[in-house]
Structures are given as C-alpha cells and as structure tokens.
Structure 1
Amino acid sequence: MHRRTAPRLARILACAAVPVMLVATGCSDDDSGSKKETAKPTKAATPTAAPTMKAATFGKLPEVCKTITEKSIEKLVPKADKKEGKALPAADTNDSASCFWSGLNDEDVKNLQFRSLTVSLKRFTSDPTLGSGEKRAEAFAEQQASKATTQDGAKNAKTEKAEGIGEGASVVSTESKKDDNDFKNETVVARTANVVVTVKYSGAGYEGAKSPDVDDMKKDAQEAAKEAVKAVAEANK
C-alpha cells in the first residue's frame, strides 16, 4: 500500500511546486496527460459600409421668371402687369421657386379677358434614406397632379397624360369660380429627371364676356411647360 501511494504523492507535490500560471496546462491527477484546448479569440465584426447612391441629374434650378420667354408671355398673358413676372417668396431658390404673371386684356371692352400663369420648379436631391432624386421627384409629381384636382375650390377635374414633356407629364383641367367669374384652369405637372415643373394657366371672361377656349388653354399650358423643362436642362449644361 505504501509503495503504491508514494509515486502518486510525489506527482502531487511536484505539481504544487509549479507556478500557478502553468497549472491549467500541465499538472493533473489524470495519468493520461491530456491537455484542454484553450478557446480561440473571436474576430471583431467588420463594420458595414454606408450605402452609396448616384447623385441626382440636375444640381441647380434656372431663374424661374426666365423659364418662359417674353414672346410666350405676350401670347399667354396679354397686357401682363409685369412681363418679367413676379417671383414668389422662397427659402432657397435652388431647391424650389415660383413666378407669377397676370393681366387683363381690355382692348375690347365687350370681351374682357383675364389670364394668369404660374410656373413652379421643385428640385430633389438623392438621399440614401429617402431615395434617388428621380424617384422622389416622381412621387412629388403624382402628388401635385392629385392636388390640382381640388386646389382653390376646383371642380369637374379631368386628368390626362401628355406626351413629349420631360420624362412624363399630366394635364389636369378644372373649373372654378371667383368674384362671380367662371374660370377655366389648366395645370401641367411634368418631371424632368429630379426636377418637377408645375404650370398653372387660368383664364376667365369678365363682365359677361365669353369663357376662354379650353382646348386652346390646354395647348398653351403644355407649350409653357415645355419651355420650362428646356430651361432646366440649359441651366445645367
């Protein structure tokens, strides 16, 4: 009995003399001499790169009151109060801008005709959280067309697509009444890349004069929208 325990006791004493840091790797009461494998350190997670998005096509807007030529204004708004137009207040005219023209053609007192024209521009940038400038502009154009069907008390709205104006355009025809005068309104909403062009053209016959021809007004509003779309492209050359 004493002979059997002597070697075992010697081993235990030997292990006790080994520095503590080595205990986990060598000394054991097990004669097999097996060692436990130390855990391998895990790799740190690689940070995910922020998504990138192509910049929007147009980086600026033209001077909104110069998007329609004076020649066109003479036709669309005869006897305009200001042929150069009146720029409406805007926080940043490189993001959004509007210009207004109005006039009463009183050369024929028996056929007094009032006309007004508003051109609005809205530019969208690309944003990883909101989408590309083009997609954002497309969504805004749809909102504008829908808004035009009821804006300023408009009634009897009719919406149709227009060809050859930017990447896509809608024409909204409505009727409204103001100061006992019946107005015909044509609103063209067109998208060119990341910019939305909105043209509102309104007309009425005053003091019992005949109402303006709807087809003529629709055609003129579309021509104005084409000019504005072209001005956007030229401003970004």
Structure 2
Amino acid sequence: MRSLPLTLVARMLPVAVLAAAGVAMTTSSDSDTHPKPSASSPRPSATPTATASADPTSAPTSDGQGDGTAAPRYPEPPAKPCGTLPAGTVKELVPEAETAGTRLKTSDATHRSGCSWHALSGFDYRWLDITYDVSASAPARARTAQGSGPSTAVPGLGDQASVSLNVTTDDDQRIREAVVVARDANAVVTVTYNGGDFETHEAAGTEEIRKGAITAAKTALAALNG
C-alpha cells in the first residue's frame, strides 16, 4: 500500500494549523468569497471568478419607502453555516468526516459565512465546502463557475446556477473537482466538491462529483429560507 502524499498529510493537520496556512475565507471584495487553499493543499487551484451581471427579472420588489431601492430578500448569511447540511448528507458526500464541519473564517460575518468538511475513508479522499455571500442590495452579482471545461447551467436552482468540472494532477495524483455557483435574489452560494483515490492515484468519478456538488448546493440554498 502506498504512503500518503505529503500534500494530503498537510491537509489532514489540525484545523488551527490549516487556518494559519491560509485556509480562510478572503474578504477582498463582494465577489471574492471562496476560501483560498494553501500551497500544500491537494485541492485544485480553480476557483469561481466573478463577472458582473444584472437580472432585473429576479430582483425583489421595492421596500415601499419611495426611493425605488429594492429590499434585499436575505438580510444576512446563515449564522451557523456548518448546520445547513444534514448529518446524513455530510456522511454521504464526505465519508468519515466530522459532521460538525469547520467554519470558514471571515472578517465580515454580516455578509459572508461558510463551512468545510474533509476526510479520508481508507485512501479515498473527499473535500466539500460551502460559502455564502449575501449582498446588501438585490440582485446579487451573478458568477459563473470556472474550470478547465465550459460551465453548464443547472436548471431549477435559484435564479441562476452553473456547474463546472476540473481535473488537476499533483505528483501523479489526480483530483476531480466540481464548482457550483447559485444565485437567489441577493445571495450567492458557492459549493466546491472534489476527491480522488490516494492509492490508485485516480480522480473520483465525474458523475459522483458533479451530482454531489449539485445536491449540496440545493440543500445549502434551501437553508437560506430557514
């Protein structure tokens, strides 16, 4: 049996060490809410890229104050983002993970929150994270998931949603990642789900990763409504 790659060993370090290494939510702009992995992370480097978009058909109604400003549908992101996924869903997508998750750090909790789960089941590795970005006005700026291939729309998920797939290779280890970006009114939910087998060095299956990311995104988006 092969030994674990150094990148995976680094990923399995205590949460405090990971946070110090750079696994934290950035707050440089409203469109940059995805956690940035450290250089030692086995995760692919692809992250969602923001593009401005206006969708007036999905904007909430006026707040009735006479100034024509649309009232945001969601006043803030979930205060307990690690509780937005049921324990059963976490166990299904990330076997052996602590269902409590790891809350992602942010200096702007009134607009951003998120949680991540990661674990090894034997040599089968899975990573899942969810981030919420709630804009002060509506509609929120839409974003398109970016990967090595084109993104595709995900019907019936919020006002607008897309998914992209990407495969990267690091030290002969292949990792497949899906990124789902879904917008509903003034909220954007981004889900990243990836995995690979650290014994065979093969990436996780395409449909497993794609469907898993979409499943998590649907649940995460529904959690905005309580």
**TM-score under structure 2 normalisation?**
0.67
Q: Does 1:120 align with 2:131?
A: yes
Instruction: Kindly indicate whether residue 108 of structure 2 is the aligned counterpart of residue 105 of structure 1.
Output: no
Counterpart selection for 1:83 from 91, 99, 106: 99
User: 2:175, 2:202 within 8 Å by CA — same for their partners in 1?
Assistant: no
Partner letter of residue 141 of structure 2?
E
1:217 corresponds in structure 2 to 209
Whether the 8 Å CA contact 2:130–2:190 is kept in 1: the answer is yes
2:39 aligns with none
Report the more deviating stretch, 180-189 or 59-68: 59-68
Residues 167 and 203, structure 2, Cα contact 8 Å, conserved in 1:
no
Equivalent residue runs for 1:42-57 within 5 Å: 51-57=67-73
Q: Which has the larger radius of gyration?
A: 1
CA distance in 2, matches of 1:158, 1:54: 33
Deviation at 1:210, TM superposition (A): 4.2
- Of the three residues 177, 181, 194, the one matched with 2:173 is 181
Unaligned runs of 5+ in 2: 1-65
Structure 1: any 5+ residue segments left out of the alignment?
1-49, 107-111, 127-132, 150-155
What's 1:197 paired with? 189
2:135 and 2:93 map into 1 onto residues whose CA distance is: 29
Runs of 4 or more, structure 1, over 2 Å off, are 177-180
* Greater alpha carbon shift after TM alignment, 65-74 vs 171-180: 171-180
Report the RMSD for the aligned CA atoms in angstroms. Answer: 1.6
Q: Shift of residue 208 of structure 1? A: 1.5
The equivalent of 1:160 in structure 2 is 152
How far, CA to CA, are the matches of 1:89 and 1:179 in structure 2? 29
DSSP 3-state at the match of 1:138: coil
Give the whole-Å Cα distance in 1 for the aligned partners of 2:184 and 2:70: 16
SS of residue paired to 2:76: coil
Checking the alignment, whether the CA contact within 8 Å between 1:113 and 1:209 is kept in structure 2 is no
Instruction: Give me the identity figure in percent.
Output: 29
What is the total number of aligned residue pairs between the two structures? 160
